[in-house]
Amino acid sequence: MKANLLQTPIVYLKGVGPNRAETLRTELGIDTFQDLLNLFPNRYLDKTQYYKIAQLQRSNADVQVIGKIINIKTVEQKKGKRLVATFIDDTGEMELVWFRGQKWIRENLKLNIPYVIFGKCNWFNGKFSMAHPDMELLTEHQKGLKVAMQPIYPSTEKLSNKGITNRVINKLMQQLFIETKGRFTETLSDHLLRELNLLPKAEALFNIHFPKNQELLAKARFRLKFEELFYIQLQLLTKKALRKQKIKGFDFDRVGEHFKEFYEEHLPFELTGAQKRVIKEIRADLGSKAQMNRLLQGDVGSGKTIVAVMTMLLALDNGFQACLMAPTEILANQHYMGIKELLSPMGIHCALLTGSVKKSERNSIHTALESGELHILIGTHALLEDKVRFNNLGLAIIDEQHRFGVAQRAKLWHKNDIPPHILVMTATPIPRTLAMSLYGDLDISVIDELPPGRKPIKTVHRYDSNRLKVFQFIRDEIKKGRQVYIVYPLIQESEALDYKDLMDGYESIARDFPLPDYQISIVHGKMKPADKDYEMDRFVRGETQIMVATTVIEVGVNVPNASVMIIESAERFGLSQLHQLRGRVGRGADQSFCILMTGHKLSSEAKTRLQTMVATNDGFEIAEVDLKLRGPGDLMGTQQSGVLNLRIADIVKDNDILKAARHHALRLLKEDPGLEKRENLPIRHTYIQLGKHKNIWNYIS
């Protein structure tokens, strides 16, 4: 079928018209025939059976009955009226009831003419009744496309109010198949169809909208899910190959004095096997003459910073500058302090640029940066300002990159005529399935072991009723010279409530841990940045033993002496947040503890989260559970959620199909990189079309 027929505006489909077209566009994003064709049902109702009224059961199930209406009346009730019709067949009678749209229904119902009705059956006042049934004249029903299983399409309140019911959408879908004669161009090669035993495209589309039986429906779904994931993978892999070809990177061919001196004389500890492996992967990228675009994943405390420092030294050894961008001032500050301490013995010039840096200091940073005398710049979004110009930026490192928007990241690329090498770091472990889709066009390195001497954190779940024992445990730890975090949830919508929780908590802790024996710091979002830093600083220096805080301490605070993390109302946190918070302790050589406090009332999902935290310290295992509980859009936060705007596939449930799709996409590009072989022309054509129309993948990283 001609692809351009599918690009016909939906307003031209018989039965739509301008008003319906506008509603379909605003509510479901349907502009064209193609969009309607790709509106897949959420579920299906089995309409293979017709019941007699005498056979009905009090089961509240959806049933289909043939009969006729013999009378209609309006019944007054406490609020408004209801319309009641008596419906009969040759075995008995029942009632049909409407609470809305009564005038229209009354004018359009025909008496003593056979109807097929469908809906939920209720037992009310000694007889069966059905509210707002789907109704169709028997003659029309017999003419329609015979559908054994009725599709139920996504809907919204506005659609229902405008009379665009499921039945209307069903009718429009039938009309679409009539106008296109159900002929749709094949989008996959014969080779793939044969090898995977896939339904042809036209057959799959017919059976997703009008399935004859469960088996054909399952085959149709598999075919369409595979196709969707296959083209996403094809696009990501092509993009990756293209960039390696097109975007020439600086060639860092030297491992020079800076790198060698640091490795031999200043490395604070022996590198783990995983760190050595990752540095090797990075060195291979930097010497490949193509731009590096690598994602470095490593759990909290796995030693990503040392890898970042050694990568920066490779840039310096080859005569280039490096920068590191972090999402918050606290984190940027911490990176700066840590990196400066490691590199100052070597006379390397580092600077920190954030919103709080004074103007005079800023100006001297700008000057030193442009002259090339400043080697490494660390900072926040401030690095992106136009005034910040490098002499020759060769490497940009982005920490916790999912917190930066796409446009912001792109600004870094344009600080040079040739884009710098990019290393993206994250302590949020991303499950493999999600990484394959979100970051399929990046190379991925994983640091999957902790530095030696780190003891795994012991995690326990305690109820509020155990609070006295928990407080006693805190006193014992403080006696040993340790420090403690107590964290309260922060949920934006209820800031006032959260503030109250935090202050109530702070007061009860202050009563149990009185001055002068105990010093307590408090940090929350309503404080001025300077006050926050002052309190943080007191805790870092060990002047206070307890830090009461909201989740502002989630990322990056490093206090090796803090060995206890208490998370209040732990059921209100997501899994990745709990894992991030737990990572604030366990940074020294002592045994560390994480105590999850909750009330007794817990949802089953909250129980799963807490059990997972107690059972494992492995961030990747936790991320897999999190993905199953929350779904992909949620897991990556709002900036990335549009990326996985999938029409039929589900990245969690269809993990196996995703792996198959990636495998076949990789193999195809290896055998026929330009998709030029005759048998691959349908794939090439579809790929080009996808690039032209609404494209959900073109802004991934």
Res 426: pLDDT: 85
Tell me the average pLDDT across 572-601.
89
**At 147, is the pLDDT very low, low, confident or very high (cuts 50, 70, 90)?**
low
Q: What is the pLDDT of residue 435?
A: 76
209 located within any domain: no
Q: Is the pLDDT of residue 244 over 50?
A: yes
- Mean pLDDT computed over 427-442: 73
Task: Give the model's pLDDT for residue 405.
Answer: 60
State whether 462 and 494 are in the same domain.
yes
Q: What is the pLDDT of residues 282-325, one digit of tens each?
A: 999 999 888 898 989 888 778 899 999 999 999 999 999 999 99
**Domain C-terminal end among 447, 473, 494:** 447
Q: What is the pLDDT of residue 373?
A: 95
Residues 73 and 113 in one domain: yes
Tokens at residue 465, please? 């009723």
What confidence category does residue 497 fall into, taking pLDDT thresholds of 50, 70 and 90?
low
Peptide bond into 327 cis (omega under 30): no
Residue 515 lies in a domain: yes
Domain holding 612, by residue range, is 458-616
Q: Which of 297-311, 456-470, 547-561 has the highest mean pLDDT?
A: 456-470
Number of residues assigned to the chain: 701
The answer to whether residue 586 is domain-embedded is: yes
Note whether residue 528 is domain-resident: yes
Which of 87, 118, 146 corresponds to the end of one domain? 146
Choice among 36-40, 62-66, 415-419, 552-556 with the minimum mean pLDDT: 552-556
Q: What is the pLDDT of residues 5-40, one digit of tens each?
A: 899 999 999 999 999 999 999 999 999 999 999 999
- Under 8 Å between Cβ of 34 and 6: yes
Tokens 């044969």 sit on residue: 194
Q: What is the mean pLDDT of residues 454-470?
A: 93
The span from the CA of 607 to the CA of 219, in Å, is: 36
Looking at 447, 475, 496, the residue that finishes a domain is: 447
**pLDDT of 643 strictly over 50:** no
Same domain, 290 and 348: yes
Q: Return the pLDDT at 34.
A: 92
- Does residue 310 sit in the same domain as residue 375? yes
Whether omega for the bond prior to residue 673 falls within 30 degrees of 0, making it cis, is: no
What's the order of all strands across the beta sheet hosting 546-549?
Answer: 458-463, 593-598, 562-567, 483-487, 546-549, 520-523
List pLDDT tens digits, range 50-96.
Answer: 899 998 887 777 889 999 999 999 998 888 889 999 999 999 999 99
- Whether the pLDDT of residue 2 is over 60: the answer is no
Q: 72 φ, ψ to 5°?
A: -135, 140
| pLDDT at residue 454 greater than cutoff 90 | no
Same domain for 299 and 434?
yes
CATH of the domain at 133: 2.40.50.140
Angle at 9 between CA 5 and CA 11, to 5 degrees: 125
Average pLDDT for 236-246: 82
Same domain membership, residue 593 and residue 500:
yes
* Tokens found for residue 280: 């090797």
Same domain? For 435 and 501 the reply is no
Residues 280, 319 within the same domain: yes
| Same domain as 371, residue 273 | yes
pLDDT(545) > 90 = yes
Structurally, the chain folds into a number of domains equal to 3
Q: Considering only CA atoms, which of 193, 182, 318 is closest in space to residue 251?
A: 318
pLDDT band at 695 (very low <50, low <70, confident <90, very high): very low
Mean pLDDT, all residues of the chain? 87
Domain CATH code at residue 413: 3.40.50.300
Asked if residue 548 and residue 405 are part of one domain, the reply reads no
430 and 495 both lie in a single domain = no
Distances (CA, A) of 43 to 61, 209, 281, 446: 15, 10, 46, 39
Does the residue 204 lie in any domain?
A: no
Q: Over range 153-164, report the average pLDDT.
A: 89
Residue 406 predicted with pLDDT over 70: no
- Residue of 214, 207, 215, 229 whose CA lies nearest to 40: 207
- Does residue 470 belong to any structural domain of this protein? yes
The reply to whether 573 falls in a domain is yes
Element (H, E) at 549: strand 546-549
Task: Specify the pTM.
Answer: 0.67
47-51, 327-331, 432-436, 470-474 — most confident range: 470-474
Per the CB < 8 A criterion, the answer to whether 555 and 418 are in contact is no
**Is the residue at 252 inside a domain?**
no
Residues 344 and 484 in one domain: no
pLDDT of 494 > 70? The answer is: no
Neighbouring CB atoms inside 10 A of 429's CB total: 25
> For residue 571, what pLDDT is reported?
92
